[in-house]
Structure 1
Amino acid sequence: MTSVQHSTQPQSVDIAIVGGAMAGATLALGLAKLSASLTRPLRIALIEAHVADSHHPGFDARSIAIAHGSIFELSRLGIWSQLKHLGTPIENIHVSDRGHFGMTELNAKPLGLDALGQVVELAKVGSVLFAELAKTSVQVYCPAKVTHLYTQQDGHLLSLDNGTQLHCQLLVAADGANSVVRQHLQQPTEQVDFEQTAIVANVTTDKPHQYWAYERFTQTGPLALLPMQSVVSVPTAQSRFSLVWALPPAQAEQLKQADKATFLAALQQAFGNRVGQFVDVGQRVSYPLTLSYMPRPIYHRCVFVGNAAQTLHPIAGQGFNLGLRDVVGLLNVIEKAYAATGSELDLGSSDIVHQYLASRQTDRDSTLRNIEFLVRGFSNQYWPLVAGRNLGLRLLSWLPPLKRPVAQTAMGWR
């Protein structure tokens, strides 16, 4: 990572990435790795508005599940070896429909795997990724914000709030759901409001989690628990989970503000006793649950990745995993283009941008459809739907061969 001083003269780079959270930082590291194999190294700039700590909106107190397929890609990029120590394996997933007979399990061992995925705490990931960026030639502008964006025939001219100007062939928007790049370029999004709010918190139970994750569908929406690493302050007989609980907005606000005992009692009532008793809860945060996506996540010499391109409901934990596939798709397109044309490649050309769009369309469309189907199907109390989804869950338990394609999808394998 190059320490950058502000300048009044535009600096020319091949690629400028706006947004340095999970997707943007991973892309920058992947491009740096690719650059090392080229006859002319890539000039890469990463612009990030916040320092990578627990106050960063992309590296906050939440935890995410990194699917097995995503770990494979992160390993291929040389990144997972630096994050592995932060991971808690998911060896089994229990899925159930509260108040009904439907339930099933997904297990790693029958698939010949040690784990279906890993849970990491975002607050710890940010510092690791930026430490890795410091070992590369990526020019990192942080903290810095894009104040003006001028689209030109041969690229984009970016003005930053520290006085720096950058000219890039290809602009990559990785700046989240409220993408500044998307706003500057006035690009449309489609949005589905599920009329749910998620409460996110770390909770403690009085039993070891044994590396189980849980997805429980309730009348208010899905309730997910992800196993987390133990900490010194938690007795060894207890365990920590990352909680994501979807509720009607008014109920979510009420429980967010409730005292600890009231919250834990409501959580116990909603989830049951499968993980033991809930004995503690940390800071509670909430956010509205929507499905937001760009119909075409590209523009003139610009591509959108991760949450800037689409923001998912957390029902299946696919947000980062889909965003990582955006990153990998772009890296593959650029690598193949260099192999075909050599070092004089124009990275912002229409061919590159449209090849990226084509590479992502099938996976992206099917994931968006599946997420909306799951949310609507499992948040609906219409009895034919209830019967159908519970029968489906039971069939997975009764007919183990049916689990493999479901598990492969959950693990991010396409």
Structure 2
Amino acid sequence: MTTAHTITAQLNVDIAIVGGAMAGATLALGLAKLSATLSRPLRIALIEAHLASNNHPGFDARSIAIAHGSIFELTRLGIWPKLQHLGTAIENIHVSDRGHFGMTELNAKPLGLGALGQVVELAQVGKVLFEQLAKSSVEVFCPATVTELQTQTNGHLLTLDNGTQLHCQLLVAADGANSVVRQHLGQPTEQINFDQTAIVANVSTDQPHQHWAYERFTQTGPLALLPMSSVPMTAAAHTAVSASAAQSRFSVVWALPPAQAEQLKYADKAEFLTALQQAFGHRVGRFVDVGQRSSYPLTLSYMPRPIYHRCIFIGNAAQTLHPIAGQGFNLGLRDVVGLLDVLKQAFSTYQLAHPSTEVDVGSNAILHQYLAARQADRDSTLSNIEFLVRGFSNQYWPMVAGRNLGLRLLSWLPPLKRPIAQTAMGWR
């Protein structure tokens, strides 16, 4: 890991990744694994502005649900075995429409699975990923930021705040919703404002969660609860925690009108827990405690074309989703896997035909292959998210009746659940 001292030399790399949170770190580790199979290893650089900690904007105190399909891909990349001790299994998902008759369940057991997904705390994941990066062939610049970006015919020249200059054939922007790379290159985004703000917090209940997750649609927006372990886990301590103690915490994501979210964010503990209890009900027992609360506005933001000259945008830099259905990281991971698959195919086919020359990893052919590979999945996911948000926030009675009937049909006709479950689990 390179520290922040002044360096004036120019370093040449094949791929530079800006942003080392979930998407960027995962891509870097995947590229290192791919590089180990090549006759000429790839030169990979990762530039990240923050050290992995609870204060890292990408590895903060939030939790995320990693879908079953994403677990499969992370296992294929050799990453999940390093993270699995941090996971809390989601075995069942309960979906309901508050104040109406619609509800259904998605269950892992009828699908022949042990879990539909796993919940992990980002701060813990970040530390593990950076430990793995330190052991890899990736050159990590952290903490470091890009202060200047020059687009050239054969690549990009990046100047970092410590004076280092990096020239890369392919630039990958994984630097989040407010992507500095996207701003440097002047690339546009489309935005949909849902006029909602999410409150995120960890809460405790007086009953064990028994590995249930909940998505409850309320008049203000969706309210999601994800099961968590009782305390941050290490691999050694994981088996020592009793089952009952490990099943009393949830991660809450609660969509509210901005003014109400602001009020509840700073309300005293008793007022917040009472409001949460009224909104969610008593299906998980009584809410007894809440940790630090944070909030962020809910929008759907996306780049119509997440590519530019010798540059690919992935994860939240390419699209930022409403948290309904928990698909943000899972879609970003499919960006990562899509890019790795395109590069692997390029090396496989090109080196057979041209064994004496090197693959240009930033070529137009590779960029457009990536764009084509990701388009259908991106488009359908973005459309589905917008449909869910608008459909379940609408109080027009035919819409209310239709969505509640749909939820009930899923309960009455179990075979209808399989395609819904497959989508929720990130399988395409």
Report deviation, 1:169. Answer: 0.1
Report deviation, 1:5. Answer: 6.4
Residues in 1 aligned to 2:267 and 2:243: alpha-carbon distance in whole angstroms = 23
1:152-177 CA-to-partner distances (Å, cap 9, x unmatched) read: 00000000001100000000000000
Residues in 1 aligned to 2:244 and 2:411: alpha-carbon distance in whole angstroms = 34
Equivalent residues in 2 for 1:271-310 (5 A)?
A: 271-310=280-319
Change in CA separation of 1:338 and 1:263 when aligned onto 2, cut-off 3 Å: same
Within the alignment, does 1:327 sit opposite 2:336 as a pair?
A: yes
Change in CA separation of 1:142 and 1:2 when aligned onto 2, cut-off 3 Å: closer
Aligned to 1:358: 372
Contact 2:4–2:142 (Cα < 8 Å) also in 1: no
Aligned to 1:146: 146
Residues in 2 aligned to 1:183 and 1:86: alpha-carbon distance in whole angstroms = 35
Gaps of 5+ in 1: none
Residues in 1 aligned to 2:346 and 2:397: alpha-carbon distance in whole angstroms = 52
Report deviation, 1:230. Answer: 1.4
Q: 2:384 aligns with which of 349, 365, 370?
A: 370
Equivalent residues in 2 for 1:2-21 (5 A)?
A: 6-21=6-21
Contact 1:2–1:137 (Cα < 8 Å) also in 2: no
Contact 1:66–1:320 (Cα < 8 Å) also in 2: yes
Aligned to 2:67: 67
Change in CA separation of 1:91 and 1:253 when aligned onto 2, cut-off 3 Å: same
- State the AA in 1 paired with 2:318: A
1:182-225 CA-to-partner distances (Å, cap 9, x unmatched) read: 00000000000000000000000000000000000000000000
Equivalent residues in 2 for 1:118-129 (5 A)?
A: 118-129=118-129
TM-score for both structures, normalised by structure 2: 0.95
Within the alignment, does 1:265 sit opposite 2:274 as a pair?
A: yes
Contact 1:4–1:139 (Cα < 8 Å) also in 2: no
Contact 1:206–1:239 (Cα < 8 Å) also in 2: yes
- State the AA in 2 paired with 1:352: I
- State the AA in 2 paired with 1:47: I
Change in CA separation of 1:58 and 1:400 when aligned onto 2, cut-off 3 Å: same
- State the AA in 2 paired with 1:295: P
Aligned to 2:95: 95
Aligned to 1:399: 413
Aligned to 1:160: 160
Alignment partner of 2:245: what SS?
coil
Residues in 2 aligned to 1:361 and 1:145: alpha-carbon distance in whole angstroms = 30
Residues in 2 aligned to 1:268 and 1:411: alpha-carbon distance in whole angstroms = 28
Alignment partner of 2:148: what SS?
strand
Contact 2:211–2:247 (Cα < 8 Å) also in 1: no
Higher mean displacement: 36-45 or 4-13 = 4-13
Gaps of 5+ in 2: 232-240, 352-356
Report deviation, 1:8. Answer: 1.2
1:297-341 CA-to-partner distances (Å, cap 9, x unmatched) read: 000000000000000000010000000000000000000000011
Contact 2:230–2:246 (Cα < 8 Å) also in 1: no
Alignment partner of 1:95: what SS?
strand
Alignment partner of 1:275: what SS?
coil
Residues in 1 aligned to 2:402 and 2:247: alpha-carbon distance in whole angstroms = 36
Report how many residues are paired: 414
Report deviation, 1:7. Answer: 2.6
Within the alignment, does 1:206 sit opposite 2:206 as a pair?
A: yes
1:79-110 CA-to-partner distances (Å, cap 9, x unmatched) read: 00000000000000000000000000000000
Report deviation, 1:236. Answer: 2.9
CA RMSD of superposed structures (Å)? 1.5
TM-score for both structures, normalised by structure 1: 0.98
Contact 2:208–2:244 (Cα < 8 Å) also in 1: no
Alignment partner of 2:404: what SS?
helix
Residues in 1 aligned to 2:72 and 2:37: alpha-carbon distance in whole angstroms = 21
Within the alignment, does 1:107 sit opposite 2:86 as a pair?
A: no
Change in CA separation of 1:365 and 1:218 when aligned onto 2, cut-off 3 Å: same
Report deviation, 1:10. Answer: 1.3
Residues in 1 aligned to 2:108 and 2:194: alpha-carbon distance in whole angstroms = 32
- State the AA in 1 paired with 2:358: E
Aligned to 2:43: 43
Residues in 1 aligned to 2:251 and 2:217: alpha-carbon distance in whole angstroms = 16
Alignment partner of 1:14: what SS?
strand
1:60-84 CA-to-partner distances (Å, cap 9, x unmatched) read: 0000000000000000000000000
- Taking only the aligned residue pairs, the percentage that are identical comes to 82
